[in-house]
Amino acid sequence: MALQMFVTFSPWNCLLLLVALECSEASSDLNESANSTAQYAPNAWFAAASSEPDERISVFELDYDYVQIPYEVTLWILLASLAKIGFHLYRRLPGLMPESCLLILVGALVGAIIFGTDHKSPPVMDSSIYFLYLLPPIVLEGGYFMPTRPFFENIGSILWWAVLGALINALGIGLSLYFICQVKAFGLGDVNLLQNLLFGSLISAVDPVAVLAVFEEARVNEQLYMMIFGEALLNDGITVVLYNMLIAFTKMHKFEDIEPVDILAGCARFIIVGLGGILFGIVFGFISAFITRFTQNISAIEPLIVFMFSYLSYLAAETLYLSGILAITACAVTMKKYVEENVSQTSYTTIKYFMKMLSSVSETLIFIFMGVSTVGKNHEWNWAFICFTLAFCQIWRAISVFALFYISNQFRTFPFSIKDQCIIFYSGVRGAGSFSLAFLLPLSLFPRKKMFVTATLVVIYFTAFIQGITVGPLVRYLDVKKTNKKESINEELHIRLMDHLKAGIEDVCGHWSHYQVRDKFKKFDHRYLRKILIRKNLPKSSIVSLYKKLEMKQAIEMVETGILSSTAFSIPHQARRIQGIKRLSPEDVESIRDILTSNMYQVRQRTLSYNKYNLKPQTSEKQAKEILIRRQNTLRESMRKGHSLPWGKPAGTKNVRYLSFTYGNPQSAGRDTRAAEFSDDDSSDPGSPSIMFSALSRIGSLKKQEAQEIIPMKSLHRGRKAFNSGYQRNTSQEEYLGGVRRVALRPKPLFHAVDEEGESGGESEGKASLVEVQSRWTTDRGHGRDHNRSHSPLLQKK
């Protein structure tokens, strides 16, 4: 269709697509009615000359039925994507309402179109499509992007809340609705207990992650974040297990036949299904991690392995009637750590993005199906049922939140405040999961299915829109922001300083968790698991190093353009400002305040940042890079001048070399592993790029090597008039030294500190900012010094 142009912005594109769709529907009807032989059209092309054509061979034909389903599905997905683009273009919208609202609207729109054009056979979701194709990507994405450390630290609370919360909600809502159904006046007498329980279980499937984006800027503490995330993760699994169990119950028995034995068996089954699924997931996770150990030569199939094994774990668990959702979640969690280290850079990025894409598509499709079934004639509106459902959803969620947290607070070191509990209560937004389960109720067992679907839709719409939109203001209100907007510049500066200070001290304190279990696991992990699952170090391809070269170049450019404007840092400016202090006008003050607020560095967010629909561009990474580069410069500058740090201590006689730094953001786990790759890369490729901020080099014995990568350094220096070329830079050799050492260690550093003992022995003191995350690095550093000299023969080779 010629109208399939790629229009990027504005909601008018929806109209264009609407027109396109209309045309396609119209022409399909036209085709059907006018040209009865249209069905034969595809066959006609294939059935060569044997058939006598009844009419002239038409030069231009239209066959819509052949492509109908993929065509429409593609159009839907495209429409949703365009809507998302529009959504994000309006800056304020993402903060106002969750993205799932947008998807619901798009779905409703498509539903309206389909209804309006009286489309005969739109693609419909059925049980196998949902459970086999649409659900796994969503769950996989949730499991993969889950931050593991906070999850396992809070695992007790999370399990307690997710499992029991889901159970309480399901049973509570089911039972309450059953009692409502008993009331004759509402005309619901034919809905028995099992059906109510089933409805309760499917309506309690919440999707709280959708609202996380809304209150992202409010500093939600880590524990709260983890609770919401954990609940979202486990909730799907639990509701589906419950759902399937209850369906089995419904199929097997009439209500009166159910005996306590069955109920006991049901509970046992619940546990087995859950644990079995997790076990399957872990096994498959380890297998896939093991396999990725060997894929270095065919890195193109690495994403394939990851996805196939996750999917396989899901299917294998489903075969045995275990919980596929929990299996795929466990698989993703297990696999992530090892796979990320084994897999190449591009594969890693591919996996992340592909996962997001798949889950995004799945969810879009589910919402569109939801929209399609919203706008239609197949509703059954029963005031009582719907209103009570809504009411009970809220009531039971409140009960479960406050009761369960009250109990778990007794055992927690850091109890959840009432504020936190309110946020958790209010984030109980229903999403695609509930709708799917309602839609897939077998009609034979549920004669009043339409009523259930209608009620589910109402709950989803209500919670998604009303709660989704108001949760942001609520959180901000609860967060008790400062009331006075007019802060003086002093206050702003000091507040930001204190925030940074607090973040820094928090980092010094580290994470206080259950050390015992974590340490034990770490030991076990190091000793056995990593040996089996992580690949041995081998040189990476040159493509990878090229990629890293480009990154480095960008970093260098940024430094040049950025810092050039404000030259040497530590030149005292006393001379210039002898005159009296100017009195600044209010406008100046305002502009100063604006400059300050917009340009001050953000405090490093210890709380996690997860967006369900998006992989956020890492602005904090750029900031971190900036900070790091500036620190390096300052330190180098001050070293050169003979001061170590601005507070005037004499420079140590140590020679410190700063080797490669890659990504400054210590948050994302993936980055650490990227840095690990980088280090391995160095070992193989001595000319590999790293910004060498080497200070006074004491190793005159090492040859200077004019490697390619020094040139960017030179251009960097050329820009600074302050620096002179009295610098000695030993680049590749030292780096190679460090690299060789690193091969043995496999550290995961952000920087490599290679400390050299100068003439004076004794304690090494880094005057510079070197960061090292892994402890093994330092323990071997001592050995490294000894190896230093012995490696010099190796240098001759290069």
Per CB under 8 A, contacts with other proteins among 367-426 are 413-414
* Least distance between other proteins and beta carbon 506 (Å): 6
Taking CB under 8 A as the rule, which mask of x and - marks residues 563-582 in contact with other proteins?
x-xxx-x--xxx--x---xx
- The smaller minimum CB distance to other proteins, of residues 205 and 227, is found at 227
Tokens representing 346 are: 């591009």
- Single-letter amino acid code for the residue at 398: A
Using CB under 8 A as the binding rule, the residues of this chain from 660 to 679 that contact other proteins are 664-666
Which residue from 370, 464, 628, 737 is in contact with other proteins, where contact means CB under 8 A? 628
Using CB under 8 A as the binding rule, the residues of this chain from 594 to 613 that contact other proteins are 595-596, 599-601, 604
- Of 374, 325, 328, 387, which is closest to residue 166 (Cα–Cα)? 325
Which residue from 592, 641, 715, 794 is in contact with other proteins, where contact means CB under 8 A? 592
* Least distance between other proteins and beta carbon 662 (Å): 12
Q: How far is residue 422's CA from residue 426's CA, in Å, rounded to a whole number?
A: 6
Question: Cα angle vertex 132, ends 130, 135, to 5°?
Answer: 55
Which residue from 41, 73, 129, 771 is in contact with other proteins, where contact means CB under 8 A? 771
* Least distance between other proteins and beta carbon 545 (Å): 23
Asked if 585 touches other proteins (CB under 8 A), the answer is: no
Taking CB under 8 A as the rule, which mask of x and - marks residues 644-663 in contact with other proteins?
-xxxxx--------------
Asked if 516 touches other proteins (CB under 8 A), the answer is: yes
- Of 468, 458, 456, 461, which is closest to residue 209 (Cα–Cα)? 468
- The smaller minimum CB distance to other proteins, of residues 424 and 753, is found at 753
- Of 363, 294, 298, 351, which is closest to residue 84 (Cα–Cα)? 363
Q: How far is residue 637's CA from residue 570's CA, in Å, rounded to a whole number?
A: 8
740 touches 683 (CB < 8 A): yes
Using CB under 8 A as the binding rule, the residues of this chain from 540 to 559 that contact other proteins are 558
Which residue from 588, 590, 714, 783 is in contact with other proteins, where contact means CB under 8 A? 588
- The smaller minimum CB distance to other proteins, of residues 179 and 524, is found at 524
- The smaller minimum CB distance to other proteins, of residues 483 and 701, is found at 483
Which residue from 253, 419, 502, 718 is in contact with other proteins, where contact means CB under 8 A? 502
- The smaller minimum CB distance to other proteins, of residues 24 and 667, is found at 667
- The smaller minimum CB distance to other proteins, of residues 45 and 515, is found at 515
Q: How far is residue 317's CA from residue 277's CA, in Å, rounded to a whole number?
A: 6
Q: How far is residue 309's CA from residue 336's CA, in Å, rounded to a whole number?
A: 12
C-alpha distance from residue 64 to each of 35, 42, 426 (Å): 12, 10, 46
Stretch touching other proteins by CB under 8 A, among 28-36, 149-157, 186-194, 513-521:
513-521
Stretch touching other proteins by CB under 8 A, among 155-163, 186-194, 321-329, 514-522:
514-522
Asked if 300 touches other proteins (CB under 8 A), the answer is: no
Q: How far is residue 679's CA from residue 683's CA, in Å, rounded to a whole number?
A: 7
- The smaller minimum CB distance to other proteins, of residues 25 and 153, is found at 153
192 touches 255 (CB < 8 A): yes
Asked if 503 touches other proteins (CB under 8 A), the answer is: yes
Let me know how long the chain is.
Answer: 798
- Of 358, 360, 327, 361, which is closest to residue 143 (Cα–Cα)? 327
Asked if 498 touches other proteins (CB under 8 A), the answer is: yes
- Single-letter amino acid code for the residue at 353: Y
Asked if 269 touches other proteins (CB under 8 A), the answer is: no
* Least distance between other proteins and beta carbon 227 (Å): 17
- The smaller minimum CB distance to other proteins, of residues 65 and 492, is found at 492
- The smaller minimum CB distance to other proteins, of residues 449 and 657, is found at 657
DSSP state of 134: I
- The smaller minimum CB distance to other proteins, of residues 251 and 522, is found at 522
User: Where do we find the tokens 């504005």?
Assistant: 10
- The smaller minimum CB distance to other proteins, of residues 351 and 675, is found at 675
Stretch touching other proteins by CB under 8 A, among 33-41, 310-318, 640-648, 723-731:
640-648
Using CB under 8 A as the binding rule, the residues of this chain from 721 to 750 that contact other proteins are 750
Tokens representing 209 are: 């992650």
All residues at 6 or more sequence positions from 497 whose CB lies less than 8 Å from its CB, including other chains: none
- The smaller minimum CB distance to other proteins, of residues 484 and 724, is found at 484
* Least distance between other proteins and beta carbon 1 (Å): 46
Buried residues in 80-111 as b, exposed as e (16+ CB within 10 A):
bebbbebbeeeeeebeebbbbbbbbbbbbbbb
User: Where do we find the tokens 């159910």?
Assistant: 258
Asked if 719 touches other proteins (CB under 8 A), the answer is: no
* Least distance between other proteins and beta carbon 751 (Å): 7
Using CB under 8 A as the binding rule, the residues of this chain from 448 to 477 that contact other proteins are none
Stretch touching other proteins by CB under 8 A, among 183-191, 492-500, 525-533, 608-616:
492-500
DSSP output for 176-240: HHHHHHHSGGGT-TT--HHHHHHHHHHHT-B-THHHHTTTSSS---HHHHHHHHHHHHHHHHHHH
Find the largest Cα–Cα distance for the chain.
102
- Of 324, 220, 223, which is closest to residue 605 (Cα–Cα)? 220
Taking CB under 8 A as the rule, which mask of x and - marks residues 336-365 in contact with other proteins?
------------------------------
Asked if 91 touches other proteins (CB under 8 A), the answer is: no
All residues at 6 or more sequence positions from 425 whose CB lies less than 8 Å from its CB, including other chains: 397, 398, 401, 402
Q: How far is residue 680's CA from residue 182's CA, in Å, rounded to a whole number?
A: 69
Asked if 260 touches other proteins (CB under 8 A), the answer is: no
Stretch touching other proteins by CB under 8 A, among 22-30, 47-55, 333-341, 593-601:
593-601
User: Where do we find the tokens 């034995």?
Assistant: 261
The strand pairing partners of 656, in sequence order, are 755
Q: How far is residue 459's CA from residue 178's CA, in Å, rounded to a whole number?
A: 18
* Least distance between other proteins and beta carbon 632 (Å): 10
Asked if 509 touches other proteins (CB under 8 A), the answer is: yes
# residues contacting other proteins (CB under 8 A): 86
Q: How far is residue 650's CA from residue 48's CA, in Å, rounded to a whole number?
A: 91
- The smaller minimum CB distance to other proteins, of residues 325 and 635, is found at 635
626 touches 558 (CB < 8 A): yes
Distance linking the first and last C-alpha atoms of the chain:
60
- Judged by DSSP in three states, 657 sits in strand
Asked if 521 touches other proteins (CB under 8 A), the answer is: no
* Least distance between other proteins and beta carbon 563 (Å): 6
Alpha helices of 90-204 — where are they, by DSSP H?
93-96, 99-116, 127-129, 135-144, 148-153, 155-159, 165-182, 193-203
- Of 671, 688, 338, which is closest to residue 541 (Cα–Cα)? 688
**Around Cβ 156, how many Cβ atoms within 10 Å?**
13
- The smaller minimum CB distance to other proteins, of residues 4 and 567, is found at 567
- The smaller minimum CB distance to other proteins, of residues 217 and 588, is found at 588
Tokens representing 680 are: 């391995």
Which residue from 410, 490, 701, 760 is in contact with other proteins, where contact means CB under 8 A? 490
Asked if 765 touches other proteins (CB under 8 A), the answer is: yes
* Least distance between other proteins and beta carbon 221 (Å): 9
Which residue from 357, 584, 711, 794 is in contact with other proteins, where contact means CB under 8 A? 584
- The smaller minimum CB distance to other proteins, of residues 53 and 504, is found at 504
Which residue from 394, 772, 785, 787 is in contact with other proteins, where contact means CB under 8 A? 772
Question: Cα angle vertex 62, ends 59, 68, to 5°?
Answer: 155
